[in-house]
Structure 1
Amino acid sequence: MKKIERFRILVMGRANAGKTTIIQRVCDSTDKPEVFDSKGNKMSCWLVEVHLNAECSQRGYHRIEHELIFRSNPGFVFHDSCGFEAGAAEEFDQMKDFVVDRAATPRVNERIHVIWFCIPMTESCRTVTAAEQKFFNECDTGHVPVIVLLTKVDTLNLDAIEELEDEGWEIGGAQGRIAEKERELLEKWLAHIKHELGKCKFPPKGYLSLQKMDQKSADCSTLMHWTANVLNEEDLQRLLISTQQSSIALCVQYAVHK
């Protein structure tokens, strides 16, 4: 454990799933991360810009082994899978090779410690896609746990309003009912995703919904708590808790109980 200098996280999911926003909040930063290649060389600014805005037409510039590091918290190293879709066999194979290699590499300082798999709750993305089923059926991450993060949960607000209007509610005085309907919709989609991924060969270790992550004041302590809980080694838990800056209370809790 003394050889592991930083906590390493692979962030996965579709394009525009909110991955960059999450890692910015975790590191309490609105800046763009510094990006380093697999040899530790810092990439130039224009390549960083391409990396953060990588779409299908630009993926040739993006490599999953690139390291994303924020100056506000250099104890975290992030890898971004970019958005992979069903049918993109070459991209899937590259991602799978990276996961398998970094999960079991004898170079302990290069191992990934956890995978955050983002599924956005935007209307066109809520169902489990063939690409996600392929990952959870074919990618054995070994001892590296995978947590599914439901992102962009706040978009359910409009769906809740529409459903209540269809039911004849006057929206102006139904704020409490809107919040209740949002929770119902979230529970429905979470149950659906758990059911679909639970049938896969290598299902995730946990599920967590993230709200208001677009706000600078977003609370990441729950994400840190869940991540610590799914880790298999107490030393890795200790490394994560000491690296995160989201919650002093979390540090105290682990100091007392662990």
Structure 2
Amino acid sequence: MKNIERFRILVMGRANAGKTTVLQRVCNSTEKPEIFDGKGNKVWSYRVQIHIDAECSQRGYHNIENELMFQSNPGFVFHDSCGFEAGATKQFDQMKNFVVDHAAAKSVKERIHAIWFCIPMTDYHRTVTAAEQKFFNECDTGHGKDTSTTDMIAFPVIVLLTKVDALYLPALRGLLDQGVAIAEAKERAAEVQGELLERWLDHIKHELGKCHFPPKGYVPLQKMHQESADYSALMQCTADVLNEEGLQRLFISTQQSNIVLCVQYAVQK
């Protein structure tokens, strides 16, 4: 833990997938992250970075090496991968090279420890596109491999289903289309929303499960725009899939907010 110091996560997903909001909840912050280059120098302001992210597909520029950190929890270091669509070869290659380089980095501090891959439910009709399939078919993060004889360190990929709240409206519309009265439809919409989520989650698991390097876990997230949002499932899943006890301990101590998780692992270990 002394050699690693900070837990490093690559956050992936399409534009407007709610990535920053998730990171704010995890770090218990309402502030925007500070952005540093690999040498610790503060670079772009967050607003400038957002502008770059919005245009990176057109301009072909996005520095995935930049580190995003929150003052409320400097133990976490995040890297933001520009969302890529199928056919965006340059962006995909940049991301893939970053993953390989940071999986084989000689310094333990520079290695990626986990990937959070965000799929927004605002695009529930296209949850698994060619871009997702390309990543999980071509990016081997040590999944299922014996890495003891290689320089590459295995790290888990977890799929985050973000903006689950977006399923409420199609659930409500579906009930209204069935002729259900508006008052009853509002009462039943949350239940139907849950059924829709289960259906789409099963679909995503089925599609990504057919890929060469499927994710290690899946976590639905909702109401992340609220400061009181519950993200304990994400913390639990990430801790569970880490394959090295030292990293597990570092993650659990870094996440700070989930006392139950700290107690659970203290008893287990």
TM-score w.r.t. structure 2 length? 0.91
Match of 1:56 in 2: 55
Deviation at 1:30, TM superposition (A): 1.0
Q: Measure the CA separation in 1 of the matches of 2:188 and 2:125.
A: 25
Structure 2 counterparts to residues 1-258 of structure 1, below 5 A: 1-45=1-45, 48-53=46-51, 54-57=53-56, 62-123=62-123, 126-142=126-142, 143-258=154-269
Q: Measure the CA separation in 1 of the matches of 2:132 and 2:251.
A: 27
Q: Measure the CA separation in 1 of the matches of 2:59 and 2:67.
A: 16
Deviation at 1:180, TM superposition (A): 1.5
Preserved CA contact (<8 Å) 2:65 2:98:
yes
Question: 1:223/1:94 Cα in 2 relative to 1: closer, same or farther (>3 Å)?
Answer: same
Question: 1:14/1:123 Cα in 2 relative to 1: closer, same or farther (>3 Å)?
Answer: closer
Q: Over residues 126-171 of structure 1, what are the superposed CA-to-partner deviations in whole Å (9 max), with x where a residue is unaligned?
A: 4311111000000011111000000000000000001101111113
* Residue type at the aligned position of 1:56: E
Q: Measure the CA separation in 2 of the matches of 1:64 and 1:121.
A: 24
Preserved CA contact (<8 Å) 1:165 1:171:
yes
Percent identical among aligned pairs is: 71
DSSP 3-state at the match of 2:12 = strand
Question: 1:59/1:111 Cα in 2 relative to 1: closer, same or farther (>3 Å)?
Answer: farther
Match of 2:146 in 1: none
TM-score w.r.t. structure 1 length? 0.95
Q: Give the paired residue count.
A: 256
Preserved CA contact (<8 Å) 2:60 2:90:
no
Match of 2:151 in 1: none
* Residue type at the aligned position of 2:119: I
Q: Measure the CA separation in 2 of the matches of 1:174 and 1:87.
A: 42
DSSP 3-state at the match of 2:84 = coil
5+ residue gaps, structure 1, are: none
Preserved CA contact (<8 Å) 2:172 2:185:
no
Q: Measure the CA separation in 1 of the matches of 2:116 and 2:123.
A: 21
Comparing 71-80 with 242-251, greater Cα deviation is found at 242-251
Preserved CA contact (<8 Å) 1:220 1:246:
no
Deviation at 1:125, TM superposition (A): 5.5
Q: Measure the CA separation in 2 of the matches of 1:49 and 1:43.
A: 12
Comparing 111-120 with 101-110, greater Cα deviation is found at 101-110
Deviation at 1:83, TM superposition (A): 1.1
Deviation at 1:39, TM superposition (A): 2.0
Preserved CA contact (<8 Å) 2:172 2:186:
no
Q: Measure the CA separation in 2 of the matches of 1:41 and 1:141.
A: 28
DSSP 3-state at the match of 2:17 = coil
Comparing 26-35 with 243-252, greater Cα deviation is found at 243-252
Q: Measure the CA separation in 1 of the matches of 2:183 and 2:220.
A: 27
Q: Measure the CA separation in 1 of the matches of 2:64 and 2:259.
A: 32
Q: Over residues 157-214 of structure 1, what are the superposed CA-to-partner deviations in whole Å (9 max), with x where a residue is unaligned?
A: 0000011011111131344421211111101111111111111110000111001101
Preserved CA contact (<8 Å) 1:126 1:189:
no
**Cα RMSD, aligned residues only:** 1.5
